[in-house]
Amino acid sequence: MNEISTTSLMQKILFFGIMVLPFTSLRMSAFGVGELVILFVFAFVFLGNGCRILLLKPAKPFLFFWIAFLFFSLLGFIYNVFFLGFSSGREYSFIFDGLSYLFVFLTIALFGNAYFYSGHPPYMFLRNIFIGWGVVFSFLYALSFFFSSVLGLPLRYHDYFSPLVENVHQAASITCVMPFLLLHLLKDEQSFLLKFFLFSLSIAFVFMAIGSGSTKALMGVVVGGGISLVALLFYRPGEQHRPAIKFVMVVFVFFAAFVFVIANFSYFNGFLERFFLENDGGGARAILYRSGFNHAIESFLVGYGPGSHAPYGPFFSDAHNTLLTVMLQSGFLGLFSFFILIVVLLYRSADNFFLLGALSSALMYIIGGDVMRRLPIWILLLGISYLAFYCRSSNEGG
């Protein structure tokens, strides 16, 4: 009883920390209340269980990726320093990125540690987090119609919804994924009032994503919604555990999307330019991508290590693209590990149409931005894995 009470207390403390985590304007420095809470709970759970971690299955692909990424990027850093004369990155960027990545790794280890739950269903904890985010974001969204800021902290950036964040994408990358997660949760609820409440929150998040002014967020809603619809049309309750059907469905969705884009190439060409080169300043992002890729090829196997960025003129810049960042810092080996993670997530969510939509929406920011240090995105991805695993266990009666 005492262990369960302690677990419940730790979950409540962590829940509070996760609620404030997306709001970067609340930070006093690189670490805010949310980050400090996560460190405290991780240390308490880890030390309280004899420095042991019992990994849950939904979290394993994430831990394996981060172990591989950190290992290959460390090799890349050694190669960069001792063989290339530190040709990419600086000491402070190595420390900043390295500590950020380590923190993401520790957070995923906490969420994936069975000792943290001690009999409490992990699904319910993630469910409560997503509903909690829905309530908090919706409250701030309502306030933003009357106030541009609260206690000196911004709710909008000009006319765009940007609640308590330093960059509009820090909120938009969450708001475009949340509608699909809430719609998925809605399916399993018994109460009509709760169903209506979750549906209302999901609609509010759609407006938040559109109101952010982010092309990536808009594409996240459109692509996620379209793929959810296609997956729903092909959904058959008796077939969801047949790997061949799931694989064919995923291939068909991406093939259909590819054909549709080709057929409307002239329209999508301009839209994709805005997607990748948003606030670009005259093609600077395209130059950055090209320069970053050429730079990555020079150390293609293990990259240059954490903190390595794309050359831009006489300086270095963030790659602004997750795939390019992974390639620059951990080479093709790290990039291959990332692709394995995405494929596993696609496979697991293939028979859950709203989860597939949520993942597709998140991929818009993964492709069009750099999410490696954005912890809320990793919590969303981890939640997709947990929710998909819960659905499979429920359908199998396990």
pLDDT tens track for 250-285: 555 555 555 555 555 555 555 555 555 554 555 566
**Residue 372: per-residue pLDDT:** 95
pTM of the model: 0.88
pLDDT over 90 for what percent of the chain? 60
Q: Which string of b and e fits 261-289 if b means at least 16 CB within 10 Å? A: eeeeeeeeeeeeeebbbbeeeeeebebbb
Rounded-to-integer distance, Cα 114 and Cα 222, Å: 36
Rounded-to-integer distance, Cα 249 and Cα 201, Å: 29
**Residue 384: per-residue pLDDT:** 97
* In contact, 54 and 315? CB cutoff 8 Å: no
Measured between its terminal Cα atoms, the distance across the chain in Å is: 25
**Residue 106: per-residue pLDDT:** 97
Mean pLDDT by 10 residues, the chain (398 residues): 76 97 87 93 93 93 98 95 83 88 97 90 94 98 94 90 93 97 91 95 96 92 89 62 53 56 55 53 67 86 90 72 93 96 92 92 91 96 95 62
**Residue 241: per-residue pLDDT:** 47
Q: Which residue segment(s) compose the domain that 251 sits in?
A: 2-395
**Residue 3: per-residue pLDDT:** 64
**Residue 398: per-residue pLDDT:** 44
**Residue 235: per-residue pLDDT:** 63
pLDDT in tens, 101-151: 999 999 999 999 999 998 788 999 999 999 999 999 999 999 999 998 998
Sign of CA dihedral 228, 234, 239, 243: negative
Phi, psi (degrees; rounded to nearest 5) at 109: -60, -35
* In contact, 360 and 350? CB cutoff 8 Å: no
Number of folded domains in the chain?
Answer: 1
